[in-house]
Amino acid sequence: MTKIKRIGVFTSGGDAPGMNAAIRAVVRAGMYHNLEVYGIMQGYEGMIGGKIKELKSSHVSGIIQHGGTILKSARSQEFRTYEGRKLAYEQLKAHGIDAVVAIGGDGTFTGAKTFSEEFDIPFVGIPGTIDNDLYGTDFTIGYDTCLNTVMEAVDKIRDTASAHDRMFFIEVMGRDAGFIALNGGLACGAEAVFIPEIESHTENLKSYLEDGFKRKKSSNIILVAEGDEAGGAIEIAKKVQEDMSDYDVRVSILGHIQRGGSPSASDRILATRLGVAAVEALLDDQKSIMVGLVNNKVVHVPFSRTIKHHNAIDLDLVRLIDILNV
């Protein structure tokens, strides 16, 4: 039988819609299994500073529909040092915490893996990031809501693009991964997408636009992931405009609206399932793993694997963009 009596939970890295739903699930699953649950404020930074408080059922009532995170989030340079991690360990022990649930991305899990190797407190991770780039899970918390936010924004931009015969380059988040741009482009009927995983060629885009111009196509939507090697939306739009002065080109950067908003039903359900699974994994003496969802089944993935690998883009989806824009 496990000796775990008290667990901690925290959110770290970029916030994602559905994190509150995951916190709620952890707290209530913990209580169901007769555990005490403590919230760690402001991620690893708050862990070092002892910003830790007990969470009861009432504390997570009415939060499932809210974006952001009631536990706040912060990045911690101090936690990257052994001295910082030792301070965090001392705070966890001082509060009687036996195990921890970490909600975040690969940076969060990297810190958890290192900490667990050095000290005797097990960590289990829940994937919370809008980028959907974590290996070992089909979906991450926040991704579906982000996609819907992008779709709604681009739909509105297309209205004005059509009204004024304009070409819009729309930049979405995705410094290292193109899932938002690619699937957002498919959902919105974008004429082209630029993503970090595939070498971009503005010449190919210009050729496509020239063909569309001949077919009297007067407006276009191009989605650009912020991490594309050809540059962001502003840089790519500038290159295209220089050679295609007939087009009225505009740029829109969606920015942090992609992180916010009420989580979708899919994100709420995913967060709830993984929150419960994380608590039960700790009670099953699991440690240094991420709980994920593959083929609609909960899976356990070692931190070492989810940190080392990344979800790969489905190249068939890239091909669909070309097929649908003949």
Question: What residues are annotated to the active site?
Answer: 131
d(CA 189, CA 194): 14
In the chain, how many H helices and how many E strands? 11, 11
Calpha distance 258→216 (Å, rounded): 33
Length of the chain: 326
In angstroms, the first-to-last Cα distance of the chain is 62
Q: In the beta sheet, which residues pair with residue 289?
A: 124, 302
Cα(215)–Cα(53) distance, rounded to whole angstroms?
63
Question: Which tokens belong to 239?
Answer: 């290159």
* Surface-to-core class of residue 55, CB atoms within 10 Å of its CB (0-12 exposed, 13-18 middle, 19+ buried): buried
What b/e readout covers 64-98, taking b as 16+ CB neighbours within 10 angstroms? bebbbbbbbbbebeebeeeebbebbbebbeebebb
Which stretches within 219-313 are classed as H helix?
Answer: 233-243, 265-283, 303-308
Which amino acid is it at 287?
A: K
In the chain, the amino acid numbered 280 is E
Structure token digits, residue 304 = 């070492």
- Computed on alpha carbons and rounded to an integer, the radius of gyration of the chain in Å comes to 22
**Amino acid letter, residue 212:** G
Pair of tokens at residue 180? 């938002």
